[in-house]
Structure 1
Amino acid sequence: MLKNVRSHESYLSFVVEQLDELYKDKAFLKTFYSEPIIWCSLIDLTDATMLLRHRYSSNPRGRKPRQPCDMLRSLMLMHYHHISSIDKWVYTLKTTPVLAVLSGFSPYNVPGVGTFYDFFNRLWLGSTPHLSNRNNRKLKKPRKKGKKNQKQEPKNPKIVEKLVKRALKNKDIKYTPKAHDQLQMIFQSLFVNKSATQGLLGDTMSLSILGDGSPVVTGGRPYGKFLCDCRKQGNWKCQCKRQFSDPDADYGWDSSREKYYYGRSLFMVTASDSPYDLPIYPRLYRASKHDSVLFVSTFHELKHWYSDWKISEVILDSALDAFPIYEMLEHYDVSAIIDLNPRRSKQFQHKQMDINLKGVPVCPIGREMIHWGLNQKTYRRKWRCPAVCGKWECPNPCSDSDYGRTFYTATKDNPRLFPRIKRDSKEWRKRYSLRTGVERCIKRQKVDYRLEDSRGRSSRHWNIRTYIIGMCQHADAWIKEAKKNNFVATNPIIQSFLSL
């Protein structure tokens, strides 16, 4: 039973007292641990206790549990120091008292490995660490390979259209609880909302988001563990049941490395106007699912979690260039900035007029018509004859009017051909250039924080690790903002740390 919740101010006082008692050489702390000290002082995790209270027993008997805010802070410090093993981290806490104190623990009373895994169960709402129970034969690696930088098409070509139709038809369907919901609640309440309040995500009432998928390799084996004695009898191709350490993983295509991998797909949603490329909603799926399928489900989950925000713009790469996605975004009054997929792009026709890949009407002699205004409310564009506007004589005029031929295109007619922001315009290029922000966010997860260094074998492990790293990304941004605004130099609490 949780009692006597410690405030952030009490935690800071505890750290000052413990460090003052343990370390007489203050220069050592300033040289090697000034950054982690400032980092922890800016992270207020007091509300984590309230969010996790229902995950603890209400029985006053028994051993007193560890404070959830201290356990969560310790996990963040573990990832901050690029340690992926709980066993190694517990050893580090016992041998490095300053890290134990910064976590909120007494250096003489550090939690054990089992305590951390018990805390994992409180963060994970699933009954087991896995989401499925695959016990059949091993998965076969697909033979058909894709090309470099080209993701493989979904097995069912109509799957995106079916998902979008189902979602738009059943608008009143309630959100289905997920095993990672507790992690998302903590991440959103303690980190995303705080960053939004500081203006680090842009305008939440007109939010522009980015989305992209990335492969995550698991530590499990696709072959599984044999539970039979068939191999002793010479049968190496038996169909008996096997035990899989990571039954939720499967094969996916890594287009950048041009090879198949066994694991998951991380679909990351970030704020495009964030100066620090901060994550909003990280989501893990099976590796075999295509990014276009992942985006449809992720977008609707995002609208559930951030129902009080207004998403006004979505910027995606050509892997998500599917007409149903444009229709879905237009239905929700969201501007779609999606690069055309060259494999699906060709000369189009609209109302018996040729349309090029830029979404510009082409007159009968092959010249692009001139853009002549936009209705901002209906996104209806007017196009005029290039000969009349350019004051040159057309060899084959298609109108007798002195004003020349006019043509109209509207986003509602074909949101893929005629997006709200004109393709290949200066504004389009400026907005689409922001798409690399989601790649930098994923790079922070996989390179800077070494997401794949862990050999985890469960959905619980990978979700907790992904969310904790996302929390660290927000904390890193807060430190940069504090230094930029000279908050570190003027804050008396931080000065008390540095003056130890």
Structure 2
Amino acid sequence: MLKNIRSHESYLFFVVEQLDELYKDKTFLKTFYFEPIIWCSLVDLSDTDELLKHRYSSNPRGRKPRNPCDMLRSLMLMHYLHVTSVDQWVYTLKTTPILAILSGFSPNNVPGVGTFYDFFNRLWLGSSPHLTNRKKRKLKKPRKKGKKNQKQEPKNPKIIERLVKRTLKNREIKYTPKAHDQLQILFQTLFVHKSADAGLLGNTKSLSILGDGSPVITGGRPYGKFLCECRKQGIWNCQCQRQFSDPDADYGWDSSREKYYYGRSLFMVAASDSPYNLPIYPRLYRASKHDSVLFVSTFHELRHWYSDWKIGEVILDSALDAFPIYEMLEHYDVSAIIDLNPRRSKQFQHKQMDINLKGVPICPIGREMIHWGVNQKTYRRKWRCPAVCGKWTCPNPCSESEYGRTFYTATKDNPRLFPRIKRDSQEWRKRYALRTGVERCIKRQKVDYRLENSRGRSSRHWNIRTYIIGMCQHADAWIKEAKKNNFEAINPIIQSLLSL
């Protein structure tokens, strides 16, 4: 049962009191631990106990649990310092008193490894660290390979269309509870909303988001552990069930490295107008699922979690260039900025008029028609004869009018062919250039915070690591903002400690 949970200011008083007692000379703190102290002071986790109290027993008897605020802060500090092992982190806390103090623990009373794993169970709503049964048949590695920087097509070409139809059929958002929901609640309440209030995510009344998938290699083996006696009998290619340390992982295609990998796919949703490429909703799926399939389900979940926000724009790469996705976004009044997939791109026809890949009508003599304005409410564009507008004589005029032939295109007729922002226009190129922000966000997770360096073997492990790193990304943005203002927003208690 949680009792006497201290406020963030009480935590800061504890840190200053302990550090004053431990270090008389503050030069050491300012030289080696200046940023970690500022970083921890900016992260207010005082609401964690209210968000997690239902995960603790209401029985007043028994041993008093650790403060969940301190446990979460310690995990964040662990990832901030690039420690990937809980055992190593506990040893670090016991041998480095200042890190124990910054976590919120007394140097002579540091939690053990088991306490951290108990806290993992409180963050994970599943009954098991895995989402599926550990015993199953061995997965066969696919033989068909893709090309460089080309993601493989979904196994079922109609799957995206079916998913979108199912989504649009239900007017109300029907969300099925997931095992990672508690992590998302903490991440959203303690970090995403605070960054949004500080203006670090852009305009939440018309939010522009980015989405992309990336491979995450697991520490589990794809072969599993044999449970049968077939090998002793000389049967080497048996189809019996095996036991897997990471049963939720499977094979996926890594287009950048041109090879198959065994693990998961991290689909990241980030804010495009964020100066720090901050994540909004990280989601882990099976590696075999295509990015377009992941986006449909992720967008559905995103609307559930951020129902009070209005998504106004989605920027995606060519892997998600599917007509049903355009239809879904148009249904929810969202502007789609998606690069055309060269494998699906060709010259189209609309109302017996040829349309090029830029969405521009082509007149009978092969010239692009001239754009002559757009209705911003209906996104209906007007096109005029290039000869009349350019004041040159057409060898084969298609209209006797002095005004010349006109043609109209509308987004509702074909949202892929005629997006709200004209494809290949200066505005479109400017908005699409922001798409690399999600790649930088994923790079922060996988390279800067070494997401794959851990040899995790469960969905619980990977989800906790992904969300904790996401929290650290927001905290990093807060300290950068504080630096811009010469640390004026830092609590006076910490300012007095570091003589700011």
Give the structure-2-normalised TM-score.
Answer: 0.99
Displacement of 1:94 in angstroms is 0.4
Aligned position for 2:389: 389
Q: In structure 2, what residue type is equivalent to 1:42?
A: L
Which residue type is aligned with residue 389 of structure 2? C
In structure 1, the partner of 2:25 is 25
Distance (Å, rounded) in 1 between the aligned partners of 2:337 and 2:277: 18
| Residues 353 and 363 in structure 2, CA contact (< 8 A), matched pair in contact too | yes
- Runs of 4+ in structure 1 off by over 3 angstroms are 488-491
What does 1:281-292 correspond to in 2, within 5 Å? 281-292=281-292
The question of 1:35 aligning with 2:49 is answered no
Q: Which amino acid aligns with 2:492?
A: P
Tell me the secondary structure at the aligned position of residue 135 of structure 2.
Answer: coil
- Identity, in percent, stands at 89
How big is the shift at 1:237? 1.9
Counterpart in the other structure of 1:91 = 91
Aligned: 1:354 with 2:348: no
Is the 8 Å Cα contact of residues 16 and 494 (structure 2) preserved in structure 1?
no
Deviates more, 1:327-336 or 1:165-174: 165-174
Distance 2:102 2:126 in 1: 30
CA contact (8 A) 2:251 2:261 kept: yes
Counterpart-to-counterpart distance in 1, 2:233 and 2:189 = 57
Partner Cα separation in structure 1 for residue 156 and residue 56 of structure 2 = 44
**For residue 378 of structure 2, what is the aligned residue in structure 1?**
378
Question: Shift in Å at residue 492 of structure 1?
Answer: 1.9
Q: Identify the residue that residue 254 of structure 2 maps to in structure 1.
A: 254
Provide, for residues 191-235 of structure 1, a one-character-per-residue CA deviation record: whole Å limited to 9, x for no partner.
000000000000000100000000000000110011223323332
2:225 corresponding residue in structure 1: 225
| CA–CA distance in structure 1, aligned partners of residues 68 and 490 of structure 2 | 30
Q: How does 1:186-201 map to 2 (within 5 A)?
A: 186-201=186-201
Deviation at 1:491, TM superposition (A): 4.5
* RMSD between aligned residues: 1.1
- 8 Å CA contact 1:489–1:495 kept in 2: the answer is no
* Residue type at the aligned position of 1:210: L
Whether 2:118 is the aligned partner of 1:118: answer yes
Which residue of structure 1 aligns with residue 296 of structure 2? 296
The structural deviation recorded for 1:138 is 1.0
CA–CA distance in structure 2, aligned partners of residues 490 and 155 of structure 1: 53
Change (3 A) 1:280 1:28: same
Give the alignment of 1:343-492 within 5 angstroms.
343-488=343-488, 491-492=491-492
Q: Distance in 2 between matches of 1:413 and 1:113?
A: 59
Write out per-residue CA displacement over residues 378-406 of structure 1, whole angstroms, 9 at most, x where no aligned residue: 00000000000000000000000000000
Answer whether contact 1:272 1:437 (CA < 8 A) is retained. yes
Tell me the distance in 1 between the aligned counterparts of 2:43 and 2:86: 22
Aligned partners of 1:171, 1:185: CA distance in 2, in Å?
24
* Deviation of 1:241 (Å): 1.9
* Residues 66-105 of structure 1 aligned to structure 2 (within 5 Å): 66-105=66-105
1:60 aligns with 2:67: no
Cα distance in 1 for partners of 2:499, 2:391 equals 76
Does 2:211 align with 1:214?
no
* 3-state SS of 1:90 partner: helix
Does residue 238 of structure 2 align to residue 238 of structure 1? yes
3-state SS of 1:381 partner: strand
Structure 1 unmatched ranges of 5 or more: none
**1:156 and 2:152 matched:** no
SS in 2 for 1:285: strand
Question: Alpha-carbon deviation of 1:488?
Answer: 4.5
CA–CA separation in structure 2 for the residues paired with 1:383 and 1:493:
64
Q: C-alpha separation between the residues in 1 aligned to 2:173 and 2:450? A: 38
SS in 1 for 2:202: coil
**Secondary structure of residue in 2 paired with 1:487:** coil
Cα separation, 1, equivalents of 2:137 and 2:45: 45
1:443 CA displacement: 0.3
Q: Structure 2 regions of 5+ residues with no counterpart? A: none
Separation in 1 of the partners of 2:450 and 2:490? 33
* Post-superposition offset of 1:29: 1.4
Alignment check: 8 A CA contact 1:37 1:497 kept: no
SS at match of 2:240: coil
Contact 2:42 2:490 in 1 (8 A): no
| 3-state secondary structure, aligned to 2:267 | strand
Q: Is the 8 A contact 2:173 2:300 kept in 1?
A: no
| Deviation (angstroms), 1:436 | 0.3
Give 1:417 shift: 0.3
Mapped partners of 2:120, 2:421: distance in 1: 45
Q: Is the 8 A contact 2:253 2:260 kept in 1?
A: yes
CA distance in 2 between counterparts of 1:26 and 1:230 reads 67
Distance in 1 separating the partners of 2:490 and 2:122: 38
Query: 1: distance between equivalents of 2:236 and 2:251?
Result: 22
AA aligned to 1:11 is Y
C-alpha distance in 1 between matches for 2:118 and 2:159: 39
Deviations along 1:132-191, one digit per CA (max 9) or x if unpaired, are 115222111100000011000000000000000011012235211000000000000000
Range with greater deviation from structure 2 (130-139 or 445-454):
130-139
Is the partner of 1:167 in helix, strand or coil? helix
Shift of 1:31: 1.1
Shifted more, 120-129 versus 132-141: the winner is: 132-141
Aligned partners of 1:134 and 1:167: how far apart in 2? Answer: 31
Q: What is the distance in 2 between the residues matched to 1:284 and 1:489?
A: 35
User: SS of the counterpart of 2:424?
Assistant: coil
Residue 24 of structure 1 deviates from its aligned partner by 2.8
Distance 1:442 1:291 in 2: 15
In structure 1, distance between residues paired with 2:76 and 2:329 = 35
Q: Secondary structure at 2:388's aligned position in 1? A: helix
Q: Is the 8 A contact 1:382 1:407 kept in 2?
A: yes
The residue number in structure 2 matching 1:13 is 13
Question: Aligned residue for 2:280?
Answer: 280
Determine if contact 1:488/1:494 at 8 Å carries over to the other structure: no
CA displacement, residues 320-368 of structure 1 (integer Å, 9 cap, x when unaligned): 0000000000000000000000000000000000000000000000000
